[in-house]
Amino acid sequence: MGKRKNNKFSRTRSTKRVEKPFRDITFINRMHGIWSRFKGLILWLGSAGFLVLFATTAYKYLDGDVRLEFSKALSSGYEFILHNNGPADQVVEEFRVLVPTKKQDVIYKLTEGIYASVDENGIELPGGPVYMPAAEFKEIDGQVIKGNSKIQFRLPPLADRLWLQPVAVLLNIEYTTISRNQILQKIEKLARNIGFKEKKVTVGFLVLNNYWTPVRVGNLQDAITQACRDNRMLSNLEICKKRNRISTGQKVG
């Protein structure tokens, strides 16, 4: 009797050894089939461009945009604000004020009497060519703007002489930001590479009597005309009144 029990136990254990690997192989084959179909779907979505679209759409939702705004003129320089309208923290990679390349894009006025040299090339001011301190501004490079928040900062003056005041200046400001989150950084770099997002944001400004107005024209005179026409607060400036008299054919004194 004991011998039969041993044989029965032996047969039962032998049966289990055969059935268990069979069930394992069946499960593995089933999972392999599911993975193959999932991988095929991923490859199809990638080839159709849906993955890129999904990634960039998700990035835009999380990233938002960083917007530059002029706040006010200070006793020396200007106050600006960078708004982060997205939920993700942003890092300012670079912020630069570009010096106007054409002399026609800058008009200054003297606020006090000075001695200047006059020759066939024009008027030479004391101290040599006018230097623009704002062009050397780099203080906010590397700063973090928290999600749905802003930072305020001071931009240096547009002239290095106390007796020189900018009447009309046309210039550009360029800045780049990137997400502080490593995953969003990779998505942003992908979006830049395929052209879904520009690496640099360029904002054109017309400065009239220390007030900065965003413009999209590349000519100073056209920018002045546009700003004087569109901004009621600027229309009372002498430069706007002068242009209005010119446009209406009145005599300019």
Cβ burial, residue 177 (10 Å; 0-12/13-18/19+): buried
Give the predicted TM-score (pTM) of the model. 0.70
pLDDT tens digits, 66-116: 999 999 999 999 999 999 998 889 999 999 999 888 877 898 888 888 887
pLDDT tens digits, 35-68: 566 556 556 555 555 555 555 555 555 456 899 9
Distance CA 113, CA 124 (A): 14
Asked whether the beta carbons of 95 and 138 are under 8 A apart, the reply is yes
Domain boundary assignment for the chain = 2-48, 66-247
Q: What is the predicted pLDDT for the residue at 44?
A: 55
Query: Could you tell me the two tokens for 250?
Result: 């009145």
100 DSSP 8-state letter: P
pLDDT tens digits, 200-236: 899 999 999 899 999 988 789 899 988 888 888 888 8
Query: Could you tell me the two tokens for 131?
Result: 């230097």
Distance CA 121, CA 236 (A): 34
